[in-house]
Structure 1
């Protein structure tokens, strides 16, 4: 894989760390800025909404820019918002910085996904995206725990400064490693924006996006509320929470890596083999959550299966949106973040029911069931013609 892919992954690591670490900082932020914990929780919602809206908006804005300019601008804006957030004493300002940071993150990821797919031969998109998304999985393994420790030792503002600092080598890597030429199609000779948006009328593309959103919703529904399962249901100490999160992150890294080698030519194999296992795994985790060893093993397994399917579906979105060369990455980004926003919301509604802390796990199982149903419908559709120069992955 080309070196610039790993430089892009470094920026994705910084942005993923910022997105995930906030859950552990909400109580300290609420105390430091004099707001209720529930109010401080709006920071997470604001980021998710910004990602969903920002992906197509920022990709459309930057479609005629040189890719280096777009990526560099987004990563520097992301760093600047964290510097402002680290210094502010106003919750309103901090909330605004999270929205702007999400827009920058969404724009960067949308352009990076499209850029990564153009750095390799058409039949190796899956492997390229696996490298790029490894930044997110490593963030769950190392970045989030490190941010939690840093926040505990030096306060939540230190974590914001750390993310801002981490963006600087990523920006240097983009400057030195990413070609300056525009994205394919982002010129006067490329397809107009209206033509690229028209790809969203493709039932096959919309279904792949929907399935990806459902799988990601299932992932975040349980990941967001994993801590009380570890401490209350399994009866483990609080120190086991980061252990469980690291196991989930390690599993996700393994899943992305393995699926990256299969998602170009055999995506159907990943979905057919991994989908039912993922479907069984969430209820199994709910039933066995009071057994610590089984809990930790299943957390690792579910992380691997969730990200294996998720990364494969991202690759499928890019294949199906091949006629939208500058907007395809934004479609994948928006779908994933719709899932990231909806999943925890649905899971939260179950916490007050008889299922208690296990409600999110059952919710994840239901969401995966819906995703597999959508996948069956998508496979039944007549395949669209392959764009010139690409190979459609085997269903």
Structure 2
């Protein structure tokens, strides 16, 4: 893989830390700003909604910019709004900063995914995308638990400052290492790109990716209260369990990239079936302090293996949309990231308890599996159809 992709992954790491670190900070934010836990969880959904809206919008806005200009602009905005978020004492204002940060994050990731697809060797788009997804999962391994630890030591605002500081070296790396014209889009018109994205296989791939990632973030967002309130473990366990989930996610994303490039139908469907069963087991076994950390790791592997494979497949299924393929993949990923915490919050607010989010995750992943199997049977396997590589 071109070295520049790893530099883009560094920036994605900072952004992934911002998007997911609230999983370990929700109780602290709720207490500090005097809001409910579901309201604090809505900050994650707000970020994801901003990503969904911002991905295509920002991709269209930056169509005529050089890749370097677009990446620098979006990352600078992202940095500045995190400074604002760290300083505010208002929940509504914090909510606004999350949306603006998400718009910038969406633009950055959409451009980065399109750049990765353009720079990847033939038949390696999935692996190229997995380098960027790896930045997100590394955020789960190190950034998210680190953010939770910072929150415990110095308050949740310190995690926001950390994200802002991490973005600074990425800015200089992009300026120094990303050529001004690297990965610039072709002259494909917007209408032609939209037609490519409306192809049945592309639509199905996006739907499946949204469902699987919705299941992932439904449980992940409320992992901290699962650890403390359900399993009865101390707050000191939260960073460790988040790290286990993140370690599994990192392994899963690497496998998912190869699965997107090479994987046959069977293994992906089998992984989806195990993923769904795993969420059921997670909901049942969450009160057991030994089982919960183990299942967090296993579900991290399965969730990101299946989810990142589906998201990476968009780069294959929408080759006629060189600008918007990355944006649509980003949007699908974050439709799930918005849907999951929202549904989990509804379940908690309905007095179903903190074990309800993984139960909702089981339903979402089972629905994705049913859709994928049904599509395969009628000859439209969508995201699970792959192109052989050498």
Q: Given the two structures, how large is their TM-score scaled by the length of structure 1?
A: 0.90
CA–CA distance in structure 2, aligned partners of residues 32 and 231 of structure 1: 18
Deviation at 1:98, TM superposition (A): 1.7
With over 3 angstroms needed to count, the CA separation of the structure-2 counterparts of 1:294 and 1:44, relative to structure 1, is: closer
Cα deviation, 1:103-143, whole Å, max 9, x if unaligned, reads 00000011111111122213011111111111111111111
Tell me, yes or no, if the aligned pair for 2:228 and 2:238 is still in contact at 8 Å.
Answer: yes
Q: Which moved more, 1:42-51 or 1:132-141?
A: 42-51
- Any idea what SS the aligned residue of 1:357 has? coil
Distance 1:137 1:65, change over 3 A: same
Instruction: Measure how far apart 1:316 and its partner are.
Output: 1.0
| Equivalent residue number for residue 125 of structure 2 | 125
Q: 1:201 aligns with which of 193, 198, 201?
A: 198
Contact 2:67 2:184 in 1 (8 A): no
Q: Is the 8 A contact 1:267 1:312 kept in 2?
A: no
Q: 1:45 to 1:136 in 2, by over 3 A?
A: same
Alignment of 1:4-43 (within 5 A): 4-26=4-26, 28-29=28-29, 41-43=41-43
- The alpha carbon displacement at 1:42 in A equals 4.5
Residue 175 of structure 1 corresponds to: 175
Output one character per residue of 1:148-177: Cα deviation in whole Å (capped at 9) or x when no partner: 222333333332222111111111111122
User: Does 1:237 find its partner at 2:231?
Assistant: no
CA distance in 2, matches of 1:39, 1:216: 21
Deviation at 1:297, TM superposition (A): 1.7
Whether the 8 Å CA contact 1:204–1:378 is kept in 2: the answer is no
Q: Deviations over 1:260-295 (max 9, x none)?
A: 233201152441231111121111222222333332
User: How far did residue 382 of structure 1 move?
Assistant: 5.2
Cα offsets for 1:179-204 (capped at 9, x unmatched): 21164544xxx111121112232121
Query: Cα deviation per residue 1:39-66 (whole Å; 9 max; x = unaligned)?
Result: 5554333212111100000011111211
2:371 pairs with 1:340? no
| Change in CA separation of 1:267 and 1:162 when aligned onto 2, cut-off 3 Å | farther
* Equivalent residue number for residue 271 of structure 1: 268
> Which residue does the alignment assign to 1:56?
56
2:208 to 186, 207, 211: 211
Query: Aligned pair in 2 of structure 1 residues 304, 69: CA closer, same or farther (>3 Å)?
Result: same
- The 5 A counterparts of 1:282-293 are 282-293=279-290
Structure 2: segments with no counterpart, 5+ residues: none
Does residue 46 of structure 1 match 2:46? yes
In 1, the alpha carbon distance for the partners of 2:226 and 2:175 equals 43
1:242, distance to aligned residue in structure 2 (A): 2.0
2:237 maps to 1:250: no
Shift of 1:393: 4.9
- Could you tell me whether the CA contact under 8 Å between 1:251 and 1:303 is conserved in 2? yes
For 1:146, the equivalent position in structure 2 comes to 146
Deviation at 1:336, TM superposition (A): 0.8
Q: For structure 1, which runs of at least 5 residues remain unmatched after alignment?
A: 385-390
Once residues 344 and 39 of structure 2 are traced to their aligned partners in structure 1, the CA distance between those partners, rounded to angstroms, is 19
> In 2, Cα distance between the equivalents of 1:258 and 1:171?
29
Which of 277, 299, 305 is the matching residue for 1:280?
277
Question: Residue 70 in 1 paired to residue 70 in 2?
Answer: yes
How many residues are paired up?
A: 385
Deviates more, 1:44-53 or 1:307-316: 44-53
* Cα offsets for 1:233-265 (capped at 9, x unmatched): 333222222221111111001111222233201
Name the CA distance, whole Å, in 2 between partners of 1:349 and 1:157.
27
SS of equivalent to 2:261? coil
Q: Distance in 2 between matches of 1:356 and 1:38?
A: 12
Structure 1 residues 94, 228: CA separation in 2 closer, same or farther (over 3 Å shift)?
closer
* CA contact 2:68–2:178 (8 Å) conserved in 1: yes
Instruction: Measure, in 1, the Cα distance between the counterparts of 2:145 and 2:203.
Output: 35
Stretch of structure 1 that moved more, 328-337 or 169-178:
169-178
